[in-house]
């Protein structure tokens, strides 16, 4: 790759610990519909592919559930209203982002979380990040693992795929990076285990945010 000039981050499980707020919104939806609630572990295994897929995996009837559309609408409203109650940056990730910014690395967030929430959370917790884009298929930008969102972010940052690194915590992120033509770094503090990531083709790992920063800066200097 060329010298790294930019980093594209996933949000949930990469920059922010959001699992409890996501689980609370899922379970509020289940209670609203009179369905059984779910554990953190079940929701952890179900996130990453957007709201519709999350509810396909957590509603008893899946995508065929007769109240699926109602569930999606209720979940979106509930999560939007309560997305910041238990959410927090992972330990050390704020320092990592600020260090990369100090070295002139451009940054963006690309997430399957709804666009308005993605933008709001990014601005609140990571003001050093230049841009953020969430799920916005109504505008013709397909959700991950389609490459659309990544290409949109690269255009905003003014860099090519060869000049950027993608950072995420899931198989969706690995496939997204592959589809967009970016090198990917898989973080090990998020919603998937190393074994799952390896099974999906992960080769480069960061065990801590500090290690992630070191990997990016080495690539900025073209040292690996």
Q: Which residues are catalytic?
A: 10
> Among residues 115, 121, 39, 46, which one has the least CA distance to residue 84?
121
Please spell the DSSP secondary structure of 125-183, one letter per residue. H-TT--EEEEEBGGGTBPPTTSSHHHHHHHHHHT--GGGEEEEESSHHHHHHHHHHT-E
Burial 141-153 (b: 16+ CB within 10 A, else e): bebbbebbbbbbb
For residues 223 and 212, give the distance between their C-alpha atoms in angstroms, rounded to a whole number.
Answer: 14
């Amino acid at each position: 790759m060329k010298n790294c000039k930019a980093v594209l981050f996933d949000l949930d499980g990469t920059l922010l610990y959001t699992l409890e707020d996501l689980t609370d919104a899922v379970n509020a939806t289940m209670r609203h519909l009179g369905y059984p609630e779910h554990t953190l572990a079940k929701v952890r295994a179900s996130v990453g592919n957007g709201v519709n897929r999350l509810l396909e995996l957590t509603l008893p009837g899946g995508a065929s559930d007769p109240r699926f559309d109602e569930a999606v609408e209720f979940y979106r409203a509930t999560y939007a209203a309560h997305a910041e109650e238990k959410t927090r940056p992972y330990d050390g990730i704020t320092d990592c982002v600020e260090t990369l910014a100090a070295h002139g690395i451009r940054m963006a967030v690309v997430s399957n979380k709804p666009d308005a929430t993605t933008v709001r959370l990014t601005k609140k917790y990571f003001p050093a990040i230049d841009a953020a884009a969430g799920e916005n298929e109504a505008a013709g930008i397909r959700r991950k693992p389609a490459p659309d969102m990544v290409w949109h972010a690269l255009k905003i940052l003014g860099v090519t795929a060869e000049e950027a690194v993608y950072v995420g915590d899931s198989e969706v992120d690995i496939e997204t990076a592959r589809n967009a033509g970016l090198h990917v770094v898989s973080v090990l503090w998020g919603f998937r285990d190393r074994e799952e990531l390896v099974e999906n083709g992960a080769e480069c790992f960061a065990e801590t945010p500090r290690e992630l920063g070191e990997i990016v800066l080495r690539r900025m200097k073209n040292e690996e």
